[in-house]
Chain A
Amino acid sequence: MNTELSPSLVKVARMTSVRLKWNRFWTEIRRDSFCYLFLAPFLICFTVFIVVPVIMAATLGFTSYDGFGSLRFIGFDNYIALFTQDIIFLTKALPNTFLFALIVGPGGYILAFLFAWLIHQLPLRVRDYYTLAFYAPSMAGGVALSVVWIAAFSGDRVGYLNNFLLHMGWIDNAIVWLQKPEYLLKVMIVVSLWISFSVGFLAMLAGLQTVNRELYEAGRIDGISNRLQEVFYITLPSMKPQLLFSAVMTIVTTLKAGSISTQLTGLPITPQYAGHLVINHIDDYAFIRFELGYASAISVVLLLVSYFAMRFAYRLFGSKEEL
C-alpha cells in the first residue's frame, strides 16, 4: 500500500524509520476512523472472546496451574511431557482422533454433498421439508443421540441392532456395543457421520442454488452427456466457496468432536480409552484432574493441528486469488 509514499520520505535516516512508520499508521487510522467505528463491535467482541482466550490458553500452556494455587512458569515442560510421557495421549488419543477425523471428515463431507445434491434434484415444493428432516439431527443432536442411537446400540437383547442380528441368527449372544473397546470407536464414527449434516450441509445446499443454470445448458451444448459430468465440470467448480466453507466447518467439528463418546457410554472416560479423542483428553486433564496448564498445552497443539488442516483445505478448495 505504499503507493502514496512520497519519494522524499524514503530518504529519511534509519533511526527514525520506526517512529515514522508508527506515525503513518496513526494517520491512516485517523483517516479511516469511520470504517473502524463500524468494525469496532466485531473487533472488540473478537478480541475479548477469541483472541484473548487463545493467548491466555497459549500462555497457560507454559505453566503449571491447578485452578486454585498460583501459576508456576515451567517453560516447555508441558509440551515435552505431552510428546514423551503421556502414554494415553500418544497411543490412544492421537491415533483415535486421526482415524476418527480421517473417516468422519471426508466421509461426512462427501455424504453432506451427496444428500445436498440429491435434495436439490427434488421439486421446490417438498425440498424444504427434506432439508429440515436432514438438518434435524444436528439441531437435536444430544437428545436424538440418547433416543435413537443408544436405543439402537443397546447392549441387551432388545437393542435394535442386537435384536436384528439375533433374529437373523448371525450372532448368538447380545453384544454390548457401547462398552466393548473394539466396537466403540466404530459406533462413534457411524453416529458422527449421521450428525455431521450440520452447517456444511446447509451451505452446500445454498451453494447448489447459486450455480448459474445457464452453465448447464452451455455445457450440454459443449458435449456434456451425463449428470456425473455435470456435477464434476460445472457444479463443483461453481460452488468452490461453499465447498471451502463446509470443509473448514467439517474439520473443526470433527476435531472438536468428543462429547459423543461420553454421551454414548455415559462415562467420562471410555472403557480402555477405546473412544478417547483429543478433546476427551483435554476434558480429562482440565475438569477431572484440574491440571489446567497441561490441558491448555494440549488444546494449543489441537489448535495448531486444526490450523494446518485448514491450510490444507484452503489448498484444495480455495481459488488462487484468495490465498
Chain B
Amino acid sequence: MKRLLAFVLLAATALLVAPQSTHARIPYQTTYFDSNRSLWMGIQAVYKPFGAYGDHFDEPVDLHIGADDKVYVADKGNSHIFVMNNDGTLIQTIGDEEGAGHLDSPEGVFVTPDGTVYVADSGNQRIAVFSADGSFVREYKKPTSNLLQSEHFVPIKLVVDRRGVMYVAMNASYQGLLRMNKDGEFMGFFGANKAQQTLLNWLKKAVLNKEQLAKENPSLPKPIVNISMDQEGFIYTATAGGFGSAAIRKLNAGGVDSYKGKLFQHSQGIVDVAIDQNGFLYNVDLDFGRINIFDRNGTVLFAFGFTDNNTQQYGVMGFPTSIGIDSKSNIWVSDSRTKTVHKFVRSDFGNDVMNAIVLYGEGKYADSKPYWERVYARNEMFTGTYQGLGKVYLEEKDNAQALSFMKEAYDTKGYSKAFWEIRLEWLQNHFIIFVMVLIAIGLIIKFLPWGIKKLLSRWSLPSVFKRLVADLRNLGYVMIHPYHGFYKLKEARVSLWSILLILAAVIGMKIITVYTTGFLFYPVDLSQINLLRILGQFVLPWITWIIANYLVCSIKDGEGKFREVIQGSTYALAPFLFFSPPIIILSNILTLDESVLIRSLTTVMYIWMAVMFMVMTQVIHNFDFLESLKNIAITLFAIATIWLFGFLVFGLSYNLYDFFYQLYKEVNFYR
C-alpha cells in the first residue's frame, strides 16, 4: 500500500515537472462596454503587451512621449530623467550629478515639441529646464506673489503650452494648477476642481451658525493628480475619487471643463490620462487596475490590463504611475513597483475597431464600412459593429438590414429610425387599405357589443355562465364608476370562478405584455426573460397588499371582510386588463418619436389603478377620504415590513438549509 502511494506521488510529480504545452495567451481579459445595455463584455485583445524596459530604473513615476516618439521617464528613485528610443533602448540621461543641474526626486516631466525638457523637481522645490541635448538651462523657483505666501511649492506634474506658460500641479494642492509664464511670474491658479456640494452640506449651511460651521470639516476640492495636454492645446486633468465624476476634465484656455463634470467609468482611482491624435482618452486606474479607453465624448469603450503585486509577466502591471501614447498609438505605462516601463501595441483587431470608431464618430459612415466589416469578420459578438453597420445600412437606405443590426446592438434610437422608414414605406404603399382597415375596426368596435347582445338574447346561456358574464361586465362598470361599483360589489358575492378567471386573465395579459411588447419599448432578449421572476414581482405585491390591507383595516375599524378585500383588489386590476391591449398594439406600431402616446397611456393606466385601489379601500371599509388615505399609507408601511420580514426569514432559513445540506454532503462524501 505504502509503495503504491509512493509510486503515485512520484508519477504525479513527474507529470507536473514535465514541460506543459504553453500558449501565448495574453495575461488579461480585454472587455468592452455595451453602452446600450450597460454591460461589460469580453472581447479579443485590442492592445497586446509588447515589452517592458528599463534595467536602470529605480522608481519611474512619470513619463512623457516627445514629438519624435522618444520616451522621457522621470525616475524619482534615481533622480534622473531617462530618455528612451521608441524601441526601448536608453539613449540619454538628463540630470547632472551635482551643481545646478542636479535633480532631487523629480516627479514630473514634460517635453515641448522642440525638445526642451521641463522637470518638476519636487525635492528641490523648483522646475528645472534642460535643453534637447540634456544640458541645464534654467530653473523656476516659487514665484513671488502675495497669494502664494502660505503655499508650499512642491511641483509634481506639469505641462507647458506653446507660449511657454507652465501649468503646474502641486503636491496635494486643492487650488488647482499654478500658472506661471516664461519669466517665472505667477499668473494665477487655473482649473481648480469643484468642492463637493452635497445636500447635507447645503443643509448644514442653512441650519448651523458660524461657530458651528467653523468646527465642521471644510469640503475642499480634490487635488489634481496628473495633467496632460493634447495637440490642440487643451489641458486634461486627472482627479481621483468621487466615483469617477469629473475624473477627467478637458480645460480650455478659460479653465472651463468641456466634459462638464461627466462621470467617467472605471476612473475612481485614476492615475493619469493620455490623449491620442484622434481625441481618444486612455487612462490608467489603480482601483480597477486596468487601462481604459474612452471616446472623445468620454464614453468608455474598452478596458484591458491587469495589476498584480508581484508580477513577473509582460503586460501585467505592478503599480502604474503614468500613461502615455505615441504617434503610432502604442501605449506606454511607467510602473514603479516592477521598476519598468511597459509598452502595449495595438492589435490588428484594435486598429480596425478604433479606425471604424473614428470614422463613425466623424459621421463618415460609408468610409467606416470596410473597417466594421473586418471587425465583424473577426468578432461577431461586438455590439459596436452592429451599431456601426446598422448606421451604415440606414445611410444606404437598406432599412430592413439596418433594423436587424440595430436590434442586435440594442440600439433603440437607431432601431426607431429604421423602423420609421420601413413603416413610412409601408404606409405609402398601403395607405388606402390602411385607412379602410381603420374604418372597419372602428365600425366593429362600435357594433360588436350590440352584436354580442343580440347573440346572447338569441341563445340564452346556462345560468352559471350568465353569472360569470354579469361579473365580467361589472368589471367595466367598476372601472368607470368606482364608488358605485365597489359599493355594489360590497353587497354582492362574486363567485370564486369569476375571481379566478379575472386573475388568470390578468396574469395572462402580463405574460402577453412581456412577450409581445414591441422591441422599442421593451428592449430585451426574449430568450433571457425570467418569466417566473417577472410574474413574482407582479403577483407578490398584490398578495401582500391584500394581506396588509385586511390586517391594517381590521385593526383600524374597517368593515371589510377578507373576501371583500380579495374581491375588491381583483376588480381594481381592471384598468390593466383594458389598457394593456392598446398599449401592446401601439408599442408594435409606434416609434420613439411618438412614444409620448404610450407613455401617457401607461401613466393613465397606473394612475387609474392607484385610484381604484384607493376607492376600494375607502368603500369596502367604509372610511372617509382622509381616513382611507391614512390607512393606505399604513398599509404600504405594513407591506414594507412584511417584505423585510420575509427576506429575513427566507435568508435565515436558507442559511439553515444550506448548513444541513453541506453537512449531508460532507457525511455522504467521507462515508
Q: Which residues of chain A have a CB within 8 Å of any CB of chain B?
A: 80, 83-85, 87, 90-92, 94-95, 98-99, 102, 169, 172, 225-226, 228-229
Contact = CB atoms under 8 A, between A and B. Distances in A.
Give the one of B420, B431, B595 with max A CB within 10 A.
Answer: B431
A91 B625 contact: no
B593 A226 contact: no
10 contacts: A84-B431, A95-B594, A95-B596, A98-B597, A102-B596, A102-B600, A169-B202, A172-B194, A226-B626, A229-B624
Contact of B428 (A84, A90, A94, A225): A84
Query: Would you call the interface of chain A mostly helix, strand, loop, or mixed?
Result: helix
A92 B592 CA distance: 11
- Pairs of residues from A and B, 4 with the lowest C-beta to C-beta distance, nearest first: A91-B593, A99-B596, A84-B428, A84-B427
B197 interface: yes
A102 B594 CA distance: 14
Contacts of B427: 83-84
A99 B600 contact: yes
A83 to B, nearest CB: 7
B424 interface: yes
Given A83-B431, A226-B624, 4 more contacts: A80-B431, A95-B597, A102-B596, A169-B197
Interface string B577-604: 0000000000000010111110010000
A172 B259 CA distance: 13
Nearest to B434: A83
Give the one of A84, A87, A92 with max B CB within 10 A.
Answer: A84
B533 to A, nearest CB: 33
Query: Would you call the interface of chain B mostly helix, strand, loop, or mixed?
Result: helix
Given A169-B202, A226-B625, A229-B625, A91 B420 contact: yes
A102 B420 CA distance: 24
B232 to A, nearest CB: 22
B607 to A, nearest CB: 11
Contacts of B624: 225-226, 229
A85 B596 CA distance: 21
Nearest to B599: A99
A290 to B, nearest CB: 25
Give the one of A92, A95, A98, A225 with max B CB within 10 A.
Answer: A95
Nearest to A99: B596
Contacts of A87: 424
A102 to B, nearest CB: 5
A80 B587 CA distance: 23
Interface in B588-645: 591, 593-597, 600, 624-626
Nearest to A94: B594
Given A99-B600, A169-B202, A229-B625, A91 B594 contact: yes
Contacts of B591: 91
Contacts of A80: 431
A91 B596 CA distance: 11
A219 to B, nearest CB: 14
A94 B597 CA distance: 10
Contacts of A226: 624-626
Interface in B37-95: none
Interface in B386-424: 420, 424
Contacts of A172: 194, 260-261
B628 to A, nearest CB: 12
A84 B428 CA distance: 6
B596 A98 contact: yes
Interface in B309-347: none
B600 A90 contact: no
Given A99-B600, A226-B625, A84 B424 contact: yes
